Amino acid sequence: MINFGLTKTLLATALATFLSAGLVGCANNKDGEPSSNTTTENTATTTTNQDLAANLQNNLIASGIDANIIATKATKVDGIYWVNAQGMPPFFTDATGQHIIQGPIIAVGTDKPTDIGADMIAEVAKQKLAAINTDEMIIYPAKGETKGIIYAFTDPTCPYCQKLHEELGDINAKGIEVRYLAWPRNQTAEPIMQSIWCSDDKKTAFAAAITENGAQSPKCETPIQQHTEIGFSLGVQGTPALFTESGEQIGGYLPPEQIANALGL
């Protein structure tokens, strides 16, 4: 069963909510876990990325946040580092690892504003999405030549997911393959998703779930927990959440023409 407390406490909620602001879709309404008010006395200056990762992890643990720091990378802003942590959306920190900076950092002064962390976040998303076995997804192939692929974190109880599903024919007709990943928004959706992913005919089960709340299928091993955690780590806080093969999140719900435009078709 999925733990519907957020993966890594309320910090994950704050980060992911900021990252997904402005997207059209159904919000996640899982209950968050309370975070600790414990503070840290660590004021050491970090001189290497390895030291920074260790200091940051110690500071998070001291504040009641159990997180595994995967990587830290220096950004173009002096003293600011980008952080990739298991089970959490990417975020920024300072050189001491004592402060977490939520949301994007925007560079100005050039032709257009630039999100300095966008490429780093997209690279993580690209790797994580590519690592998911296609047998674990529900795939709707393009009609004719495949010109583009999108990944969609979905929940059939979400009206915006239902709308996207209704338009799959038009999306596929534009040469776009759609790969569904399971992302139940709440405890009510979890058994419905379980039934879909345990069904012999997942496409029919998904369509039935939209109108009938899904038929109960025998329980089986599913990738739902994995998909959910991957979604959280990429900043997903609602459905649908659409990603390209390059790892760019192009939207929540988008009509077919806008999806094609986002893919450069």
Active site (catalytic) residues = 155, 158, 161, 185
What torsion, rounded to 10 degrees, do the Cα atoms 167, 169, 175, 177 define?
A: 80
Go through 188-219 and write b for each residue having 16 or more CB atoms within 10 A of its CB, e for each that does not.
ebbbbbbbbbbbeebeebbbbbbeeebeeeee
Strands 238-239 and 241-244 come out as unpaired
Asked if 204 contacts 226 with a C-beta cutoff of 8 angstroms, the reply is no
Cα–Cα dist 181/234, whole Å: 13
Q: What is the DSSP string of 75-108?
A: -SSTTEEEEEEETS--EEEETTS--EE-S--EE-
